[in-house]
């Protein structure tokens, strides 16, 4: 085995010193560390602000959804009750056409039932759309069931009301069914 030479030893020392110099050069300075930490802080702050905004938007969406559910949650049942209203009105009109004593009691019962139904509708934001003959046809609230030329009217005037319409707050449940004049000039 050969003895290590001084030159080999010096080469090893120089290599270690070079490696140490590289390590010292590779270590970040205090300014670099501060800049890195500030960049990381800014990134976390940005993420936090975005998460905060997302949470606020989710809260607002949930509040809006709750409000809509409360206002319009009864849409299906309200639509289902409209034919009940129509049938009570028909029964009331049929009872008014007869003059016997039994129909007076029936008429009173139907009137009270109809009044209670309208009270329930009102309590839940269901309003009647009741156009009158001579009103202008509104395609947003009325459904034209037929058109006919009626002397003394203008085109687009309501000439007959077949059925009342209904709205729930601002949503149309059923348009009023009307006949419309097609009279020109």
The whole-number pLDDT of residue 108 equals 85
Output the pTM of the full model: 0.64
pLDDT of residue 1: 53
Q: How many percent of the chain have pLDDT more than 70?
A: 90
Backbone angles phi, psi at 173, to 5 degrees: -90, -45
Lay out the sheet containing 171-174: strands in order across. Answer: 126-129, 165-168, 171-174
Give the chain's length: 185
Quote the mean pLDDT of the chain.
87
Poorest-pLDDT segment among 22-36, 80-94, 152-166: 22-36
The gap from C-alpha 52 to its chain's centroid, in whole angstroms, comes to 23
Mean pLDDT over residues 117-125, rounded? 92
Among 31-35, 104-108, 134-138, the minimum mean pLDDT is found in 104-108
Q: Name which residue leads in pLDDT, 41 or 22.
A: 41
Burial class of residue 30 in the structure, from the number of CB atoms within 10 Å of its CB (0-12 exposed, 13-18 middle, 19+ buried): exposed
pLDDT over 70 at 117, yes or no = yes
pLDDT band at 24 (very low <50, low <70, confident <90, very high): low
DSSP 32-84: HHHHHHHHHHHHHHHHHHHHHHHHHHHHHHHHHHHHHHHHHTTHHHHHHHHHH
Distance CA 16, CA 106 (A): 112
């Amino acid at each position: 085995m050969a003895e290590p030479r001084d030159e080999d030893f010096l080469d090893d020392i120089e290599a270690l010193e070079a490696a140490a110099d590289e390590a010292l050069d590779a270590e970040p300075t205090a300014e670099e560390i501060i800049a890195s930490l500030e960049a990381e802080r800014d990134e976390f702050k940005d993420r936090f602000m975005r998460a905060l905004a997302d949470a606020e938007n989710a809260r607002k969406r949930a509040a809006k959804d709750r409000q809509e559910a409360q206002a319009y949650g009864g849409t299906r049942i309200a639509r289902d009750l409209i034919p009940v209203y129509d049938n009570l009105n028909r029964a009331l009109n049929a009872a008014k056409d007869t003059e016997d004593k039994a129909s007076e009691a029936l008429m009173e019962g139907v009137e009270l039932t109809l009044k209670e139904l309208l009270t329930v509708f009102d309590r839940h934001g269901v309003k009647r759309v009741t156009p009158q003959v001579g009103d202008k046809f509104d395609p947003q609230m009325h459904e034209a069931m037929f058109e006919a030329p009626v002397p003394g009217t203008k085109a687009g005037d309501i000439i007959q009301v077949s059925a009342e319409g209904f709205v729930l707050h601002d949503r149309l449940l059923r348009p009023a069914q009307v006949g419309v004049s097609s009279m020109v000039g």
